[in-house]
Amino acid sequence: MLDKLFFRKKSHEQKWDLDDNIPSHVAIIMDGNGRWARKRALPRIAGHHEGMKTVRKIVKEANRIGIKVLTLYAFSTENWKRPREEVDFLMKLPGEFLNTFLPDLIKENVQVRIMGKKELLPIHTVKAVDQAISQTENNTGLILNFALNYGSRDEITAAVKAIGTDIKNGTLDPSQINESTIENHLMTQGLSDPDLLIRTSGEVRLSNFMLWQLAYSEFWFTEVYWPDFSEDHLREAVSQFAQRGRRFGGV
């Protein structure tokens, strides 16, 4: 069902031949790792580890489909409230992911970025992501944007502060402030807004994720836990997106 309507796949290795309307930017709230693990009587970190493998699969498929930007909510500003061992494990995952998959990502022309407050991350996490960012900065394929220690309210607060500083310094007059002024101070500066937001695990909320940027995005929810999220699920979401009529407030 998934492939019929909007994709004709020429061969396994080739990009999807698109008939219509592929989302340029897809953002994903990867939820349900803990419940996936609990269902199997495993520790929560086993769910996160399995979730990391799903990230690899989905990046590859997103690239194949022709998605330009994939933003993944990997750690929120609120996730520090979790038990210490879980936080430590989550902080090691970007390093493990990049140690394992960076050569493949480079071959696939993927550009790695992060958004979030880097200063609170452990040094080993920062090193791993900085290395990946610098090794992929000239790549022109899919942008893989990890939201790491990211919170949208925190992002907007920082933007307001920076704009306030510009006003105080006399470089900006309040009458000049428009939507672009705000966008240019967000962590997504230079990226288009997500066309499609996916959240897994049956939860139907934004959890402080990209509140400004998701204003006109299409939402797609699934009961599937993130470790079980597959290429087929991504194609289903993209296929349903392609059938939606987006009006951006118009008719």
Q: Which residues from 200-239 bind ligand FPP, rule CB under 6 A?
A: 201, 226
Task: Report the residue from 33, 136, 149, 239 that binds ligand FPP according to the rule CB under 6 A.
Answer: 33
Q: Looking at beta carbons only, is 113 or 242 nearer to ligand FPP?
A: 113
Q: Which is nearer to ligand FPP, 16 or 146 (CB)?
A: 146
**Residue 138 is a catalytic residue:** no
**Half-sphere exposure (Cβ direction) of 106: Cα atoms closer than 13 Å:** 13
Instruction: Using alpha carbons only, give the angle 73, 97, 204 rounded to the nearest 5 degrees.
Output: 20
C-alpha–C-alpha distance, residues 89 and 79, integer Å: 12
The answer to whether residue 89 forms part of the interface with ligand FPP (CB under 6 A) is: no
Under 8 Å between Cβ of 31 and 201:
yes
Which tokens is 242 given? 């392609």
- Binding of residue 142 to ligand FPP (CB under 6 A): no
Site for ligand FPP in 59-78 (CB under 6 A): 74
Q: Judged by CB under 6 A, does residue 144 bind ligand FPP?
A: no
12, two tokens = 């396994």
> Rounded to whole angstroms, how far apart are CA atoms 107 and 85?
34
What's the burial of 31, exposed, middle or buried (CB within 10 Å: 0-12/13-18/19+)?
buried
Closest residue to bound ligand FPP by CB: 34
Confirm whether residue 125 is marked as ligand binding.
no
Other C-beta atoms within 10 Å of 88: how many?
12
| Number of residues this chain uses to bind ligand FPP (CB under 6 A) | 19
Catalytic member of 79, 145, 149, 195? 79
Cα 148 from Cα 200, distance rounded (Å): 18
Pick the binder of ligand FPP from 28, 45, 52, 238 (CB under 6 A).
52
Residue 77 marked ligand-binding: yes
31 near ligand FPP (CB under 6 A): yes
Establish if 97 lies at the interface with ligand FPP (CB under 6 A).
Answer: yes
- Other Cβ atoms within 10 Å of 147 Cβ, number: 27
79 as an active site residue: the answer is yes
Please identify which residue in 46, 58, 93, 196 interacts with ligand FPP, judged by CB under 6 A: 93
Q: Cα angle vertex 191, ends 244, 187, to 5°?
A: 120
Q: Does 34 bind ligand FPP (CB under 6 A)?
A: yes
Nearest alpha carbon to residue 158 among 114, 202, 115, 109: 115
Active-site option among 3, 20, 21, 31:
31
- Taking the complex as a whole, how short is the minimal distance between the CB of residue 16 and ligand FPP, in angstroms? 24
The catalytic residue positions are 31, 79
Residues making contact with ligand FPP (CB under 6 A): 30-35, 48, 51-52, 55, 74, 79, 90, 93-94, 97, 146, 201, 226
